[in-house]
Amino acid sequence: MSLKDEPAFQTVLAPDSYPRTTASPIRYMPILKDDVVIGYLWAATTDDAAQYVPREQAGDPALDAAVAWTRRLRWAKANGVSPLAALRHWSGEPEDGRAGKVPVGRPFELPTLAALEELAAAG
């Protein structure tokens, strides 16, 4: 292999995470950065799924936050926190420079994950 060759990356170990899809209704909270909605943190109401969905029009800050939320959700899963409890865990915490913040309040509910993905894409 020379420096001109494309490197081959291989995941050796990744922490366990919640499933990223669900057929269940979901609860979600907006993720704010500088008082702008950059994405949504969601949890399934009847199974073990949870994830962060970036808001398309929020650009790079929304995508950067995805890395932080993946790390946070992996921490929650490793510590036995249920997805719905994880949704509430960060509510009201100070804004993180990368992840943003979850405002205080009750989660919103949608019948499907697809509905939230449409919301994130709509702007």
pLDDT per 10-residue tile (average), the chain, 123 residues: 69 77 96 97 95 96 96 95 94 95 96 97 84
8 part of a folded domain: no
**What pTM did the predictor assign?**
0.87
43 part of a folded domain: yes
| Chain Cα centroid distance, residue 121 | 15
The count of domains in the chain is 1
Contact between 38 and 58 under an 8 Å Cβ cutoff? The reply is yes
Residues 6+ apart with CB under 8 A from 37: 30, 31, 55, 58
Domain, as residue range, for 84? 26-122
pLDDT of 123 reads 66
Contact between 64 and 33 under an 8 Å Cβ cutoff? The reply is no
50 part of a folded domain: yes
116 part of a folded domain: yes
Q: Cβ of 72: how many Cβ atoms within 10 Å?
A: 18
